[in-house]
Structure 1
Amino acid sequence: MNNFYGTIPPEIGNLTNLICLDLHTNQISGTIPSQIGSLVKLQILHILGNHLNGPIPEEIGYLRYLTKLSSCWNFLNGSIPPPLGNLNNLSYLLLYDNQLSGPIPSELGNLKNLNYLELSNNQFTGSIPSSFGNLRNLQSLFLGNNNLIEEIPSSICNLTSLTLLHLFRNNLKGNILQCLGNISGLWCVTMSHNNLSGELPSSICNLTSLQVLDLGRNNLMGAIPQCFGNMSSHLEVLDMQHSNLSSTLPTTFSIGSALGSFNLHGNKLEGKIPRVENCQLLEVLDLGDNLLNDTFPMWLGTLPELRVLSLRLNKFHGPIRTSGSEYMFLELQILDLSRNDFSKNLPMSLFRHMKAMRTIDQISKEPSHLGIHIIMILLQFHPRGWSLNLTASQEVIIILVRTVSIGYEARPAPLVISHPRAKLAKKLSCKYPYKPSIMGDLIALRALNLSHNELQGHIPPSVRNLPSVESLDLSSNHLEGKIPFS
């Protein structure tokens, strides 16, 4: 990498014996000169990672020996010139992260030696050319984050060498192709954020190399095929959130499961949580916003890698029973049990052994999870009377709470308390376990949200003593008097 700047001079076309032109990751601006088409012996053209703009000159289509063309990470605009389909020796065509638009030319289907076609993060419109089915050597097809419409052409299933298929964030419609199950080498499929419909094809279970399957935010219907549980022996990421799926979850998961992230948030799934003890590598389990009807699955605490557990907005009921074991939820950092029908008190023993919630990054001095500086416990329970008492606790926990009475003394952990629309009433100096009169002792409090309640009276003077507070929202209440100031 150098630090070249300025433009590519048209005189570069005089270098007619040039075989490789690599200008990647510089500060070069301006347009690609059409004279580059005079480099008739050129095999490699790398101009990625610059500030180039304007169209791709169609003269590049004259470079019949070209094998690699990468101009990604620029500001190129206009359409892909159809003459690029004449580059019979091309194996890499990388144009992602530009501002290219218009339909993808069907002539690209002539590039029968192409291994990698990456056009993501542009503004392409129209449909996926059916001619892509001719690209029998294609291993990677990236068309994500464009404006493509219509159905996925069935000719895609001719791409028997394909390993990566990225079609996310488009406006594709129609069913997920049944014949995808014939592309045995697929290990990553992302089709999220489209308008795909119909049922999940059970043929996907034939993809024994599949490690990542992301079909979230579509308009699917029907049940998850039971064979999906058997896929967990090789599947590492399964994301089908907000996809209108119904019925029950797969009942069994393979011994030696590789599943690390399982996200079915925002569907219409019913029944009980399946036993997933075989998923010993599971880090994220998000089953929130469904119709699951079960008691608290304490046995999930035996999963040694579980870091995120969301069961919010379901029909979980009964008391939360804990285990006497010291080895429960040891890695858990985010827990969301909100808007269920649990009863009785929330046992302190549930949190006693959550050692991951005590970790502080020694550089930033803040807790972290997966690179994000946030640890949360979300507890929005049925408003029948709940209490969580962590008084004098020395643990590092950020707590975000709705419709639950909570007592917590922060020393010196960053703390967030939120009760918006929680039906809180009475005065701010009322009976809740965290008495507002001692709010000034919460030296690490960063955010307090009590908006949209029925609170009355004065704002307690102790709020002046919150040195770390960044956000204070008491709006939409019935408070009166002066605003305290120091």
Structure 2
Amino acid sequence: MSRDCCSWDGVVCDDITGHVIELDLSCSGLVGTIDSNSSLFQLSHLQRLDLSSNNFSNSHISPEFSKFSSLTHLDLSRSGFSGQIPYEVSHLSKLHSLRLSYNFLRLGPQNFEMLLQNLTQLRELDLTDINISSTIPLNFSSHLTTLRLRYTGLYGIIPESIFHLPNLETLHLGYNSELNGYFPKTKWNSSASLILLDLGSCNLRGPIPESLSNLTRIEYLDLQYNSLIGTIPPGMLSLPSLNTIDLRFNHLSGPLEDFKSNSLIWIYLEGNQLQGHLPHSIQNLVNLSGLILSFNNFSGRVDVSLFSNFKQLWHLSLSYNNISLTNDNKVNVTLPESLYVLELAACEVKELEFLRSANRLEDLDLSNNKIQGRIPDWAWSNWMSSLKTLNISQNMLTSVDSIPLQSLYTIDLRSNLLHGSLPIPPNSTNYFFISHNNLTGEIPSSICNLASLIMLDLATNNLRGEIPKCLGNITALQVLDMRHNNLSGNIPTTFSNGSSLSSLNLHGNKLEGKIPQSLTNCKQLEVLDLGDNHLNDTFPVWLGTLPKLKVLSLRFNKLHGPIRTSRVENMFPELRIIDLSYNAFSGNLPSSLFLHLKAMRTIHPSMEAYGVDQYYQDSIAVVSKGYEREVVRILFLYTTIDLSNNKFEGHIPTIIGDLIALRVLNISHNGLEGPIPSSLGSLSLVESLDLSSNHLVGKIPAQFASLTSLEVFNLSYNHLEGCIPQGKQFQTFGNNSYEGNGGLRGFPVTKSCGDDHASGKTYAVSGQLDDEETNSEFQSDLWKAALMGYGSGLCIGISIVYFMMSSGKPIWFARIIVELEHKIMMRRRKKQRRQRNCRRNNHY
């Protein structure tokens, strides 16, 4: 080969033979594939090959790599390779370093074993983010100094032998959540060579071994996101070389020990149950860059002057403990100029004066404190060019006239006492939260200048006027929450193609008109709540084309007419909550709608939340178990159908029994008739079932006795008869679940089933209660008697009734009297409903 190439960047040749022995093409912008006939494989004398950080377009690793028999270092990381790692790689027996991390590769358990068996000279093995899905083998090279197996799908117990590899300095096993068991009780000694130990998110339990305090060379210790218990072992926070310790989100308790070493730079202890006062020795950590202690049980008073000692402090977080931040000495505190992130939520902060010197802050969290009045002008001035995130929610601020910040990304002013008009943040803002205040006036159209807006939360204020139509044109907007204001006019019709809107909540306003069909452009929409407005429309069947819609609430409006659905096969495929209550829908219950609700036919095994964000959580008002409640962080599990208080007629469709994921079903206060379908007994997860105030007849299906999750059950004010099913759950329901059904018998009503006695009387006469012809004739005779009494006077009527009672049918008479009472009660309820609707219409 010509020696000309030996002068190229990244190429190293042997001085004697002229052979290319090293090739470094990392970060060279290479694209395409490496075929088996590539000229690369002619460089048979290569000892080092680095192709990392390129883009080989999901090509496979060629078996031809095995031709590099002299190779000691191979780096293919971050280069877009995919597929199975060929077993031929294990033929590279001279390898000292193998890096294949951050590709789309697989390595089966057997190939993993073979790889380790043959590569006996390995010093470094990096398979980070490779799909191995294996237990941890035992045949690692004794020469190994660095082992990186994060995100590889390892499972099973971590073998202790891995910690006893004689030369091991760096061990990364983090983020293998299928690993399990107790923290290995390894007896480390002071001669151990470990410098870095990463066991974060490995599902470890039990206490931290005290022998970890013997790792005198360790610099980085990561045990975050496990289930570790007990105290932090004595001496661990004073290890002479330790600069980073991460024990976040475990179950550790007890006080912090004194710090006897100043080597610590980063301390992550948030999300535990640590308690007691912060040790005074913390001020000796002069090199500290990060102190993150949030979400613990630390207590006592902490003087802000303490943090003046940390000249390199970058991130300070003390939020949500039981501490009080004070400035007892009333001195001018000088916080470190290096401070970029300050989190002091729920720290009893009352004023901002101690922040005068913090003019480089980028993230500031002062939420849930006692700050009053207004933000001083000097603060806006100090933060103008640097602050990107400001959270000062849940305080007692009374006014914010303007927000003069240039680089703001997020501002959270929720739950204060703000009044006046809506302040408009700078155009750079992505997240703007100012709900739960006392803002008044109209929403200025200038808010649409925030073209990068992702979330806008103006809920629970006293804003009035129309919603600016231009908001529908902000394609980046994902959340628009304006619920519980006094907004009027129509819903904007300008939602455009490409909209990112995933949550639209306009509940509890005075909006009129129709539901805009332009919402069909919002293909990402998951939550739509237009309840408690004055909308006057028919059922918006076209919403069924939204592929991700999970929550639809149209309750308390003036919607009317029958519910018809399209013949399109895939309608409402993800819908899990539908609330159409308190409208004027009519006709039969929509069997075709229930047929489409595919997401309600599957029981989801996990409690995944949707609509959950770092800053915002979806919520919706639903009626469950007889009470209206605000459901925050809506869960897949919370599957609801509420069609109550409408004008539906006809029978209950049996297909509802196929919606086995239902937790709440409410079709009360309609005009439904016929029997209760036995298929509803298949709703094994249902917790609240309300069929009350309809015209249902027949018996309660015996299958209902198997509904063991049922907590609220209401069949009152129908025409049901027969025995109430008996079962463990049915013993918990009171008489109010059945009142207004004169023909029901058994616990808990006073009438008994079979030969049982109730109140010392027998209510069954053998042979007579099942005689339908006799029953019909008797009812006919009784109504004739009642009419005769009505026409001839009370005395004659009573005489006729007395005669009929003495004729041997007093039990039938008692039943008819109960039915008469029920009819009177139903008429009374209908009258009350008409009056309520009348008042409601007058209100609108």
Query: Does the C-alpha gap of structure 1 residues 376 and 176 become closer, same or farther in structure 2, counting only changes over 3 Å?
Result: same
- Name the structure 2 match of 1:464: 726
Instruction: Choose from 632, 643, 646 the match for 1:379.
Output: 643
Distance in 2 of aligned mates of 1:43 and 1:391: 62
1:284 and 1:304 map into 2 onto residues whose CA distance is 12
Point out the more displaced range, 393-402 or 284-293: 393-402
Distance across 2 between alignment mates of 1:71 and 1:381? 50
Q: 1:269 aligns with which of 502, 511, 526?
A: 511
* Residue identity opposite 1:170 in structure 2: N
Match for 1:88: what amino acid?
E
Matched to 2:682, the amino acid is P
Which amino acid is the alignment partner of residue 267 of structure 2?
D
| Partner in structure 2 of residue 444 of structure 1 | 707
* 1:468–1:391 distance in 2 versus 1, CA, 3 Å: farther
- Comparing 254-263 with 169-178, which one deviates more in the overlay? 169-178
Q: Is 2:669 aligned against 1:403?
A: yes
Amino acid at match of 1:346: L
User: Quick one: structure 1 residues 79 and 225, their matched pair in 2 at CA, closer, same or farther if it must change by over 3 Å?
Assistant: farther
C-alpha separation in 2, matches of 1:394 and 1:411: 10
* Alignment equivalent of 1:208, drawn from 448, 451, 467: 451
CA gap 1:310/1:386 in 2 versus in 1, 3 angstroms: farther
Displacement of 1:74? 2.2
1:241-320 aligned within 5 A: 241-275=483-517, 276-320=519-563
Give yes or no for the alignment of 1:93 onto 2:342: yes
Deviations 1:222-273 (A, max 9, x none): 1100101112x11111111112211111012111111111111111100111
**Compared CA separation, residues 94 and 393, structure 1 to 2 (3 A):** closer
What is the CA distance between 1:104 and its match in structure 2? Answer: 2.7
Determine which of 159, 163, 168 is the counterpart of 2:405.
159
Q: CA deviation at 1:327?
A: 1.9
Matches within 5 A, 1:393-432: 393-396=657-660, 398=662, 399-404=665-670, 405=672, 407-408=676-677, 409-413=679-683, 414-416=685-687, 418-419=689-690, 423=693, 432=696
What amino acid maps onto 1:472 in structure 2? F
The CA distance in 1 between the partners of 2:383 and 2:731, in whole Å, is: 55
- Which residue among 321, 328, 337 is the counterpart of 2:571? 328
Distance 2:637 2:714 in 1: 23
C-alpha distance in structure 2 between counterparts of 1:234 and 1:273, whole Å: 22
The structural deviation recorded for 1:67 is 2.6
Cα distance change, pair 124–71 in 1 and its aligned pair in 2 (3 A): same
Q: AA paired with 2:363? A: Y
1:321-378 deviation per Cα after TM superposition (whole angstroms, max 9, x unaligned):
22222122122121111111122222211221221111123579xxxx9644221111
Match of 1:139 among 385, 388, 400: 388
Structure 1 residue 481 corresponds to structure 2 residue 750: yes
Q: 1:387 to 1:104 in 2, by over 3 A?
A: farther
CA offsets 1:75-119 (integer angstroms, 9 cap, x no match) = 2125477755543331111122x3x22523234243110011012
Please give the alpha-carbon distance, in whole angstroms, between the structure 2 residues aligned to 1:71 and 1:170: 22
The offset of 1:307, in angstroms, is 1.3
Alignment-derived partner of residue 60 in structure 1 = 306
- Structure 1 distance, partners of 2:652, 2:547, is 25
Moved more, 21-30 or 64-73: 21-30
Identical residues among aligned pairs (%):
36
Quote the Cα distance in structure 1 between the aligned partners of 2:730 and 2:326.
51
Indicate yes or no: 2:465 matched with 1:222. Answer: yes
Tell whether the 8 Å contact from 1:440 to 1:462 is kept in structure 2 after alignment. Answer: no
Match of 1:22 among 267, 270, 293: 267
Output the amino acid matched with 1:449: F
Higher relative contact order, structure no. (Cα contacts within 8 Å, ≥ 6 residues apart) = 1
The residue type equivalent to 1:437 in the other structure is I
Seen in structure 2, the aligned counterparts of structure 1 residues 109 and 340 have a Cα distance that, compared at 3 Å, is: farther
1:114–1:338 distance in 2 versus 1, CA, 3 Å: same
Distance 1:135 1:339, change over 3 A: same
Question: Which residue is 1:119 aligned to?
Answer: 366
Structure 1 residue 47 displacement after superposition: 3.1
Secondary structure in 2 aligned to 1:344?
A: strand
Q: What residue ranges of structure 1 are gaps of 5+ in the alignment?
A: 425-430
**Secondary structure class of the residue paired with 1:349:** helix
Distance in 1, Cα, partners of 2:661 & 2:604: 13
Q: 1:186 to 1:109 in 2, by over 3 A?
A: farther
1:188 aligns with one of 413, 431, 434: 431
User: For residue 475 of structure 1, what is the amino acid of its counterpart?
Assistant: N
Could you say if the C-alpha distance between residues 374 and 103 of structure 1 is closer, same or farther in structure 2, counting changes exceeding 3 Å? Answer: same
Unpaired segments ≥5 residues, structure 2? 1-221, 224-230, 233-252, 608-632, 743-748, 757-844
In structure 2, the partner of 1:428 is: none
8 Å CA contact 2:397–2:418 kept in 1: the answer is yes
Following TM superposition, by how much is the alpha carbon of 1:284 offset from its aligned partner in structure 2, in angstroms? 1.0
1:360-379 mapped onto 2 (5 Å cutoff): 360-362=603-605, 371-379=635-643
Alignment of 1:166-181 (within 5 A): 166-178=412-424, 180=425
From 397, 404, 415, the counterpart of 1:149: 397
**Normalised TM-score (structure 1):** 0.83
> 1:108: which partner in 2?
355
Q: Aligned equivalents of 1:372 and 1:392: distance in 2?
A: 18
Contact kept? 1:449, 1:474, Cα under 8 Å: no
TM-score under structure 2 normalisation? 0.50
Distance 1:438 1:45, change over 3 A: closer
Structure 1 contact 402–418 (Cα < 8 Å) conserved: no
User: Retained in 1: the 8 A contact 2:576–2:636?
Assistant: no
Partner Cα distance (1:75, 1:444) in 2: 45
Q: Determine helix, strand or coil for the equivalent of 2:473.
A: helix
Q: Which amino acid aligns with 2:652?
A: L
Contact 1:199 1:223 (C-alpha < 8 Å) held by counterparts:
yes
SS of 1:464's equivalent in the other structure is coil
Q: Which residue of 2 aligns with 1:390?
A: 654
Select the structure of larger CA radius of gyration: 2
Which residue pairs with 1:427 in the alignment?
none
- Deviations 1:35-66, CA, capped at 9 Å, x for gaps: 54455554433333432111222332422613
1:356 aligns with 2:599: yes
Offset at 1:391?
6.0
User: Counterparts of 1:46 and 1:84 in 2: how far apart (Å)?
Assistant: 21
2:547 counterpart SS class? coil
Q: 1:23 to 1:264 in 2, by over 3 A?
A: closer
Equivalent position amino acid for 2:462 in 1 = N
Query: 286-295 or 298-307, which moves further after superposition?
Result: 298-307
In 2, Cα distance between the equivalents of 1:377 and 1:199? 35
Per the alignment, residue 70 of structure 1 pairs with 317
The structure that is helix-richer by fraction is 2
Q: Is the 8 A contact 1:410 1:442 kept in 2?
A: no
1:346 and 1:391, CA in 2 relative to 1: closer, same or farther beyond 3 A? closer
1:401 CA displacement: 2.3
Amino acid at match of 2:477: L
